[in-house]
Amino acid sequence: MNLRILIIPVLLLFFGCTQTNIKPEKQLEPIPNTDVYLKVLGIAQDGGMPHINNSQEYNDVANGDRKKELVVSLGLIDTEQKKKYLFDATPDMPEQLDMLHKELITNTIIDGVFLTHAHIGHYTGLMHFGREAMGADAIPVYAMPKMNTFLSTNGPWSQLVGIENIKIVPMLADSSITLSRKLKITPFLVPHRDEYSETVGYRIEGPEKTALFIPDINKWSKWTTSIIEEVKKVDYAFLDATFFSEGEIPRPMSEVPHPFIDETVALFKEEDAAIKSKVIFIHFNHSNPALDKQDVKRLALEKEGYRFARQGEIFGL
C-alpha cells in the first residue's frame, strides 16, 4: 500500500486536533440598512483581558481557551457624511481605529473622539496621536471642562494640545452637539471617582434610534436620575457591568464602586422583556464571569432579555 496514502489522513487528524478550544461565536449581524450606526470596538474594563499580573489568563488566550477582549469603546459611523467618531480613547485605540477604517475608508483616521473621563482605559489612547507615534494634525477631542483642564495642563497630554496633535472641543453637561442632520450627541454627568476630571455618559441620537453609553458610574442609587426611566426612553442602553456581584475580587469593592450586574437586574426586575432587552451590559472586569458566553448566570439573564455586548456588534441608529 502507498505510504503517502496512509500518512496524509494521519497528518490531517493531527492538525485537526491542534485547533483552538474557543467555540466559534454566533455570526454577527450584517451592517444594518442605515446611514448611521454604532459598532462595539471593545467590551473589557480599563485593564483589558488578559489582565496584568494574571499569567493564567495570558496562557488561556495563547492556548485558545479564552478570547482577548479590548477595552471598552464604541465607534460611530456616518456613511452619508463619510465621518466616523470614537467614544473613549483606550490603550487599544490603534487596533480599534483600524477596525473603524475597515468600516469606512476616508481621508481622516477619525473625525472626533468623545471622552467620558480621566481613568486609564478611557483617555490614554490619545498618546498614539503624539509625535512619537502618529504625529496627528488637530484631531478633534470632545472634553468636559475639568477634562479639558487636565489634558491642557498636565504632561504628556499638554504636549498633544500645545503642538496641536489634538484640538480640544469643549463640551458642557446636557448641552447637545449636532454632528450632522442625522446625528446629535449629548453628554450628561454621572457620579464616579472623579480624581482628575468629571465623568459623563452620552446620549447618542440617530435619525431613527437612540443609545445611552454609560461605561462607568459608581452606583445607580448615587445618580439623581432614574436609570429605569432613561432606559425606557432609548433603544439601546450600554451600561456599566464591571462586576457581576459582591466579593468578586480580593479587595474591598467599595474602593472601586460600580453597579453590580445583579444590582442592575434587581432594579429592572418588574420590567417586561422588551425593556430588559434594551440593556446591553459592557465594561467587564477580567474577573467577571459574564465574559464567559457559556456562564450559567449570563445565560439565565439572556433568557430574560438582557444582552451582553460583543466586540464587532453593530447597532443601527
Q: How many CB atoms lie within 10 A of CB 316?
A: 18
Mean pLDDT, the chain, rounded, equals 89
Which amino acid is present at 255? Answer: E
Instruction: For 109-131, give the DSSP string.
Output: S-S-EE---SSHHHHGGGGGGST
Please give the Cα distance from 214 to 210 (Å, whole number): 13
Which pLDDT score is estimated for 15?
A: 37
Burial level of 104, CB count in 10 A (0-12/13-18/19+)?
A: middle
Q: 229-244: per-residue pLDDT in tens?
A: 999 999 999 999 998 8
Q: 130-159: per-residue pLDDT in tens?
A: 999 999 999 999 999 999 999 999 999 999
Q: 58-107: per-residue pLDDT in tens?
A: 897 899 888 899 999 999 999 999 999 999 999 999 999 999 999 999 99
Q: 38-47: per-residue pLDDT in tens?
A: 999 999 999 9
Which pLDDT score is estimated for 252?
A: 82
Q: How confident is the model at residue 31 (pLDDT cuts 50, 70, 90)?
A: low
Structural domains present in the chain: 28-316 (3.60.15.10)
pLDDT at 3 over 50: no
Nearest to 95 by CA among 121, 135, 125: 125
The predicted model gives 104-132 an average pLDDT of 96
Cell digits of residue 156: 504628556
Higher pLDDT, 94 or 24: 94
Q: How confident is the model at residue 32 (pLDDT cuts 50, 70, 90)?
A: low
